[in-house]
Structure 1
């Protein structure tokens, strides 16, 4: 079975609503799912007690109070009752399609013992195998508590996400599924800034680990929110000193991988090889070139646009996930 671990923001206002929704949905995946919450944010202890979650309040932080990826991933793997680990952002609602997807991926890549009985030899073999499962999220407007007492809450919530039809791009990575023992060495990256999630994909690929994109089989429901947790909002998450440090520690653009780099895909038909992953570097270069041209055009036309009162409507940004948890 699974151990899901996460780190929240303070449980206040709308953020409290969506984090409670996410955490509760995880507990309903299966009676044996374990959930570990890292951090001493306001309300975390109370919510963990209420939902029966494990709480690890002591987390080493940077000078800006962001949490280190290495310490959370390392401690979670030490604490976990199960061998299949899941890191998920604390605003992601997961339903049974996620559990089915994990079971299929784990079975194919030798981790089926996490879901069924196994002898000592099978256990040894499983622990030698590695994989990483990731998937695109569906941005969804949810402003109220989900009624988990309704028998069809999962179907209704998935239907809402599909109806709003805002699946994020392959660069936005909000969950990671992997066997215990991966990610033993991680640079001093922090959660809450850009780049660390992309580095995790690169790290898996650099070690020859199978990376499975489950986007076609799993509806990971991201509950939209603002960026009030950073004094400069979304721009601060992208551009402050810690964001730049994350980017440098990750190794720069060479290590900013996405789901384009997945070696396999999980679909309704099963797990398939993804030969297109070899083209991922070229696609990234094309996006960077397109963004550079766009920004150059904006700079060149700024005086004219200013005189005419015309503003750019949507900037092209580097393709990295800004929806990070503190």
Structure 2
């Protein structure tokens, strides 16, 4: 058979098309890879610029918070009195505090600013804030966060830990807290009213409060209490300030290091808890704690009963909207008090004493008074009408 001879012209054209096809493929691959790199570079550029923008927006707040930290160090320096007064005024008018779940700045009214200045100049304590816990490896970070966080509220707030553990006492004392022994307990857990009575005997302040040992605060606590103190409420009657907490899972030491970072963690990762839960109870020295049953902390039922009883006695203020209280939720969840072996301790005690209890009347939503931010982002006290489930008392 005779072989077919392919013309040279046709061979050159086929080769040419192969080269063109290869060039086209290479060009396509290059364009694809270049576009991917460009898009990633653009995304990275936007992330960097956003971070720079955040830093610039935080810069002023960071310096304001630093002024407060410096003031705490300079307070006893008699040679810098004028400098102290300037720093004090800057802190009293600071706009670091934020309203819950948004970025509106809260600002103390002028009369509360003046009161804050007076308290600082006289070295008076606004609030004695106490809690209790047992040494726990699982909650080391949580409790360490609490110690450091409550220290940020000085000099307006004096932190106290109730414990009979010697090593724990040494540790928290070294970190700037005061320690008191547990004088009375039920099932090994401190009795709430004795903690109040013992604290009032030893420390002098305008307000006294128990808060769970996993709660973090910001200076919204201070500004709200100054607002309550300068309000027209009749403070000769028993007064209690309560509020709902914001649950944040696994709060890190980095997030808890200052008020700005914990506020941002609550804004982006927090969830407001049920109106059934109250984790802090702020009262004044005249509150009749001696008449309260021997309920223990960390177990269910006592919180709603306390609010119910306080509504009968005088004024109860729901400060949920103006006090940021961050609950450090651990692996034990948000209903830890229900999981204890003696979780019904308080309920059984109260039923034996009062027989019938309407716990729903002790929810935060059942208080007749509430704190809210006004148009100038300053907290104020308002009246409200609770719904039917809040009665009878």
Q: TM-score, normalised by structure 1?
A: 0.71
Per-residue deviation, 1:247: 4.7
Q: Helix, strand or coil for the counterpart of 2:230?
A: helix
Q: Please list the CA deviations of residues 256-288 of structure 1 after superposition, one character each: whole Å capped at 9, or x if unmatched.
A: 51112211110112211011x252437x9xxxx
Residues 38-49 of structure 1: pairs in structure 2 closer than 5 A: 38-41=162-165, 43-49=167-173
Pick from 77, 80, 97 the counterpart of residue 200 of structure 2: 77
2:293–2:350: 8 Å Cα contact kept in structure 1? no
- Is the aligned partner of 1:279 residue 2:388? yes
Per-residue deviation, 1:184: 2.7
**Distance 1:143-1:278 versus aligned 2 partners, 3 A rule:** closer
Q: TM-score, normalised by structure 2?
A: 0.59
Q: Helix, strand or coil for the counterpart of 2:130?
A: strand
Q: Which residue of 2 aligns with 1:18?
A: 142
Provide the C-alpha distance between the structure 2 equivalents of 1:57 and 1:109, rounded to a whole number of angstroms.
37
Show structure 2 runs of 5+ residues with no match.
1-125, 375-379
Q: Which residue of 1 aligns with 2:44?
A: none
- Is the aligned partner of 1:3 residue 2:128? yes
**Distance 1:168-1:235 versus aligned 2 partners, 3 A rule:** closer
Q: Which residue of 1 aligns with 2:357?
A: 253
- Count, aligned residues: 258
Pick from 164, 168, 177 the counterpart of residue 53 of structure 1: 177
Provide the C-alpha distance between the structure 1 equivalents of 2:342 and 2:212, rounded to a whole number of angstroms.
21
**Distance 1:139-1:240 versus aligned 2 partners, 3 A rule:** closer
**Distance 1:259-1:25 versus aligned 2 partners, 3 A rule:** same
Q: Helix, strand or coil for the counterpart of 2:169?
A: helix
Provide the C-alpha distance between the structure 2 equivalents of 1:47 and 1:191, rounded to a whole number of angstroms.
22
Provide the C-alpha distance between the structure 1 equivalents of 2:338 and 2:238, rounded to a whole number of angstroms.
36
Q: Please list the CA deviations of residues 276-326 of structure 1 after superposition, one character each: whole Å capped at 9, or x if unmatched.
A: x252437x9xxxxxxxxxxxxxxxxxxxxxxxxxxxxxxxxxxxxxxxxxx
Provide the C-alpha distance between the structure 2 equivalents of 1:241 and 1:272, rounded to a whole number of angstroms.
35
Provide the C-alpha distance between the structure 1 equivalents of 2:290 and 2:239, rounded to a whole number of angstroms.
14
Decide which structure has the larger Cα Rg and report it: 2
1:109–1:130: 8 Å Cα contact kept in structure 2? no
Q: Which residue of 2 aligns with 1:95?
A: 218
Q: Helix, strand or coil for the counterpart of 1:13?
A: coil
Provide the C-alpha distance between the structure 2 equivalents of 1:59 and 1:145, rounded to a whole number of angstroms.
32
1:136–1:215: 8 Å Cα contact kept in structure 2? yes
RMSD across aligned C-alpha pairs, in angstroms?
2.7
Compare the two structures and name the one with the higher helix fraction.
Answer: 2
Per-residue deviation, 1:83: 2.4
Structure possessing the higher relative contact order (Cα contacts under 8 Å, 6 or more residues apart): 1
Q: Please list the CA deviations of residues 104-157 of structure 1 after superposition, one character each: whole Å capped at 9, or x if unmatched.
A: 1122156xxxxxxxxxxxxxx95x2432111110001234324776xxx21221
Show structure 1 runs of 5+ residues with no match.
111-124, 285-326
Q: Please list the CA deviations of residues 183-225 of structure 1 after superposition, one character each: whole Å capped at 9, or x if unmatched.
A: 2311121112111111211121111x11111111121110012
Q: Which residue of 2 aligns with 1:217?
A: 322
Per-residue deviation, 1:102: 1.2
Residues 75-224 of structure 1: pairs in structure 2 closer than 5 A: 75-109=198-232, 128-146=236-254, 153-182=258-287, 183-207=289-313, 209-224=314-329
Provide the C-alpha distance between the structure 2 equivalents of 1:191 and 1:89, rounded to a whole number of angstroms.
8
2:241–2:282: 8 Å Cα contact kept in structure 1? yes
Provide the C-alpha distance between the structure 1 equivalents of 2:259 and 2:345, rounded to a whole number of angstroms.
37
